[in-house]
Amino acid sequence: MGVRNDPSPLRWLIGVELARYRNAYGVSLAFVSSQTGMSKAKIGHMETGRQQQDPEDIARLLKSYGTDQHDIDRLTSLTGRAEETTWWGPWAQVVPDWLKTFVGLENLAVCEFVFEPIIVPGLLQTEEYARATMTRTPRVRQDHGERFTGFRMARHRRLTDDTSPLQLHAVVSEAALRLRVDGPEIQQAQLEYLLRMTEQPNVTLQIVRPEDGLHMALTGQFIVLDFEQVRSIAYSELHDGAVYIQDEEQVDSYTMAAESLQRVALGPDQSRDLIEDMLKA
């Protein structure tokens, strides 16, 4: 399901959970409305995150689905969490809604797994590398390229946050590291930056090569975000948009693909050795 109009990421996550419980219980919005006295429109808006979810309304819905009290408490407690001021405010005019939603979710996540077969992941790009890629994409207007690069660099702060740094596990193809992005100086600086980033305890990087064999991630780039109090979601970018995978079984399939990649790819130490060899070549 694509996400538009930028609902609050926290409300969106709560809504995803509410929809999961209703679908697992096997009832329609109309049936829930008749059982709880809440309007069908209100329940629908709660599930999409378009409306603030009151803890009493959440509990009322979940009780009608026979949900365990532990899960009711877990979800209602999220409504009391203060949402962080939108850090991407200065870039609001250059960032599309679907990407605003993603970076909001990324800001709430505790762990992120990313597989990139074509290009270095955005969280691990140098400013020069990011700027060069902005000139090659139809997503960004030419006059917005510099500001979008600044936005991408601002995302990096989650990796160096003193209080709750994002735990990042990236699997990148060897081809992505060898992709020529403008001059060789940019590519060399990018490889050196990757080595420095792998020195951080919250960053794990693995390189997967063709000779390492088959893995389960044959459909391309994807991300899995893990959260403290709600279930994981998967995410995949399109040419001009994104798909958010919420179904539990589908998310599990992406998690299995991530585990497959980790088994097949070079280990973190071997991956560092490969990057160092590329720098010497």
Q: What is the CA radius of gyration of the chain?
A: 21
Q: Is there a domain that residue 87 lies in?
A: no
Q: How much is the average pLDDT of 61-77?
A: 88
Q: Are residues 32 and 139 in the same domain?
A: no
Write out the residue range of the structural domain in which residue 225 sits.
Answer: 93-280
pLDDT (0 to 100) of residue 175: 96
Cβ(115)–Cβ(217) under 8 Å?
yes
pLDDT (0 to 100) of residue 141: 52
Cβ(16)–Cβ(229) under 8 Å?
no
Q: Are residues 48 and 181 in the same domain?
A: no
Q: Are residues 62 and 150 in the same domain?
A: no
| pLDDT above 80 for 143 | no
Q: What is the CATH number of the domain that holds 37?
A: 1.10.260.40
| pLDDT above 60 for 85 | no
Of 3-12, 119-128, 258-267, least confident by mean pLDDT is 3-12
* Number of domains into which the chain is organized: 2
Confidence of residue 147 (pLDDT cuts 50, 70, 90): low
Single residue among 47, 78, 109 that ends a domain in this structure: 78
Q: Are residues 74 and 105 in the same domain?
A: no
Q: What is the CATH number of the domain that holds 258?
A: 3.30.870.10
pLDDT (0 to 100) of residue 62: 93
| pLDDT above 60 for 5 | no
35 or 79, which is more confident? 35
Q: Is there a domain that residue 86 lies in?
A: no
pLDDT digits (tens, 9 = 90+) for 245-262: 988 899 999 999 999 999
